[in-house]
Amino acid sequence: MPSLFDPIQLGDISAANRILMSPLTRGRSTDDHVPTDIMVDYYRQRAGAGLIISEGTGISRQGLGWPNAPGLWTDAQVEAWKPVTEAVHQAGGKIVAQIWHMGRLSRPDVIGMAPLSSSATRAPYHKPENPYGEAQAATLDDIARAQDDYATAATNAVRAGFDGVQLHGANGYLIDQFLRDGTNFRDDDYGGSPENRIRFMREAVARVVDAIGAGRTSIRLSPNGETQGADDSDPASVFIPAAAALDALGIGFLELREIAPDGTFGSTDVPKLSPEIRKVFKGPLILNQDYSQEQAQADLDSGLADGIAFGRKFIANPDLVERFRRGAPLNQDDMATWYSKGPEGYIDYPALEDEAA
């Protein structure tokens, strides 16, 4: 069985190892969602990952309701990403852009308009004052425009030097809002049956495949449990056929974020679907959430996964792959600086060489 340190082919991308960096929102872009110079250092430091999946990157003004998250819909954004991707490549790494439409989770105070979703709903919030607005149910024209935006963002990502893209289909964002019967109440071709609820995802991925090629295309899904108010009464009925549809499109890889009853960033008793998804998706399968190095290797040994994506461990350990390789201790991240501006808690975590100096 392969080791975490063995290379892997992810569609058209040759990754040096099977330790991926999962997407991590960090909020260091400008108010206009343009990447900043500090992001060059941040991603360069983490180029030892087999593949970096960038932070969620907006595909449109309406789709990006997170302050100071980056975008890929303007020329200024594309140009500002180029030094980032060049730095990663010069350091020997590979990087894909996670392209993101937040749907009903786009805050009106950020986007300056009403958000869009599969249906007219309002997302819940964990504090009394809810910043989310009532979403407009997407018309067929809205759906076509959103799919155009995914394709354009993918094209822009390649222009910016990314090795490919990952559509964000997880965590209660727009694609997830179409997939789940707890957020999709449509009675047209995009709602009702699992086949219809899968349609938006399948068409969006197909548009990206047409734009940049299947081998440069991937997607992240979160099949089990509730996330940010999005839930499904029978996840297996929709996510297993969704994985089969993705297999038919021939995408480079599929990543699953699966939470557990004892999860440290979300928890659920809903069973994980990766064993069943593994049967229908024949391409590389990447798993994510709360993995230790030992658990990650065990899932490679069993054949359940082809690679493992780590998120929070990469925040405080830019050289995570080397630390795993040497059995070195890990730095602990500071949650207070996850989304703060500036270098603190972003590019100032020491690598092993810095600690030894």
Q: Determine the Cα–Cα distance for residues 323 and 281; give it in Å rounded to an integer.
A: 31
Q: What is the pLDDT of residue 21?
A: 98
- What are the pLDDT digits (tens) for 234-263? 999 999 999 999 999 999 999 999 998 888
The average pLDDT across 137-164 equals 98
Spatial neighbors of 128 by CB under 8 A, at least 6 apart, are none
On the question of pLDDT at 268 being above 70, the answer is yes
- For residue 265, the model assigns a pLDDT of 82
What is the rounded CA–CA span in Å between residue 337 and residue 346? 7
Q: Is the pLDDT of residue 162 over 90?
A: yes
The answer, yes or no, to whether residue 355 has pLDDT greater than 70, is no
Q: What is the pairing mode between strands 217-221 and 253-257?
A: parallel
pTM: 0.97
Task: Identify the pLDDT of residue 317.
Answer: 98
Per-residue pLDDT at 28 exceeds 90: yes
How far lies 161's CA from each of 81, 158, 316, in Å? 8, 5, 26
pLDDT tens digits along 275-297: 999 999 999 999 999 999 999 99
d(CA 356, CA 30): 35
pLDDT band per the 50, 70, 90 thresholds, residue 299? very high
Catalytic center residues: 173
pLDDT tens-place string over residues 189-210:
999 999 999 999 999 999 999 9
pLDDT of 357 over the 90 cut: no
Mean of the per-residue pLDDT values for the chain? 97
Are 323 and 352 in contact by the 8 Å Cβ rule? The answer is yes
Q: What is the mean pLDDT of residues 166-176?
A: 98
Among the residues of the chain, which ranges form H helices? 37-45, 75-90, 108-111, 140-159, 174-179, 194-212, 235-249, 274-280, 293-301, 312-316, 320-326, 352-356
Q: Residues 292-318: what's their mean pLDDT?
A: 98
Q: From CA 272, how far away is CA 270, in angstroms rounded? A: 7
Copy the structure tokens of residue 207: 């548009």
pLDDT grade for 356, boundaries at 50, 70 and 90: low
Supply the pLDDT for residue 312.
96
